[in-house]
Amino acid sequence: MRLERVAAHVPAGARLADIGSDHGYLPVALMRRGAITAAVAGEVAMTPFHAAERTVRDNELSARITVRLANGLAAIEPQDGITAISICGMGGETIRDILDSDKARLSGRERLILQPNGGEQPLRQWLMDNGYGILCEEILRENRFYYEIIVAERIGPVQYTAEQLYFGPLQMQARSPAFLGKWQRILREKHKTLANFAQARQAVPEDKVQDVARQARWITQLLA
């Protein structure tokens, strides 16, 4: 379900780089459907790299999907002509670091389809700081976990408020049931954290308390 929703944001006919591809399921599924024209599956670790190679080979797609053992965007070569990059199933900070550490490999014309597991705020901050506008956001619930999908393209200077970076500018407007459910859960956690802070034997630094209290206030306002 999660990867199906990610797949829906890959433009038809794209040349896709799936970074951190693990078994290579996303590029293989898209290629089998004729939804993309070429793909690179990048993996930094040996076991998933071999798993991706096996999936590609078993589906007889070795001529159209290249599997590369590489760290982050180093999997992308200029001659690949990549038009879309997916980075899914990792923390938002990890996705941000992957994008930031090899910016020279981004042409700026690729669509980014990102599925962070937490850490959405620092990822959105990076997107804003690097001129990427958020075109689409989705949140879905699977097996009690909430997953966010962020689709972005470089459009030039873009400005989001602190709340928009925290909640997601488009999600704040759409207010889907999954979005509201996620933030209700997080608000309960913030209240628990504040109660634990109040009972802690050692005083918790005031700025930390204020930070959590501010987040709880924002969420309360959002849900009001």
Give, in degrees to the nearest 5, the angle at Cα 87 between 83 and 91: 155
Among 27, 40, 66, 72, binds ligand SAM (CB under 6 A): 72
Q: Is 89 in the site for ligand SAM (CB under 6 A)?
A: yes
Nearest to 133 by CA among 104, 115, 112, 162: 112
Among 98, 114, 127, 149, binds ligand SAM (CB under 6 A): 98
Q: Is 27 in the site for ligand SAM (CB under 6 A)?
A: no
Among 9, 10, 16, 20, binds ligand SAM (CB under 6 A): 20
Q: Is 43 in the site for ligand SAM (CB under 6 A)?
A: yes
Start-to-end C-alpha separation, the chain: 30
Between CA 20 and CA 89 the distance in angstroms is 8
Element of type H or E holding 114: strand 111-116
- Per-position x/- string for 176-205, each x denoting binding to ligand SAM as judged by CB under 6 A, each - no binding: ------------------------------
Give whichever of 89 and 168 is closer to ligand SAM, judged by the CB atom: 89
Give whichever of 30 and 90 is closer to ligand SAM, judged by the CB atom: 90
DSSP string, 119-164: -HHHHHHHHHHTTEEEEEEEEEEETTEEEEEEEEEE-S-----HHH
Give whichever of 98 and 150 is closer to ligand SAM, judged by the CB atom: 98
Q: Is 8 in the site for ligand SAM (CB under 6 A)?
A: no
Q: Is 137 in the site for ligand SAM (CB under 6 A)?
A: no
Decide if 167 contacts 147 (C-beta within 8 A): no
Starting at the edge strand found earlier in the chain, the sheet holding 145-154 runs 65-69, 36-43, 14-19, 84-90, 111-116, 145-154, 132-142
Among 14, 16, 17, 19, binds ligand SAM (CB under 6 A): 19
Q: Residue 188 corresponds to which tokens in the numbers above?
A: 């309960």
How far apart are CB 3 and ligand SAM at their closest, in Å? 6
Q: Is 116 in the site for ligand SAM (CB under 6 A)?
A: no
Nearest to 36 by CA among 14, 67, 8: 14
Among 84, 85, 88, 123, binds ligand SAM (CB under 6 A): 88
Decide if 54 contacts 32 (C-beta within 8 A): no
Q: Which residues bind ligand SAM (CB under 6 A)?
A: 3, 19-22, 42-45, 48, 71-72, 88-90, 94, 98
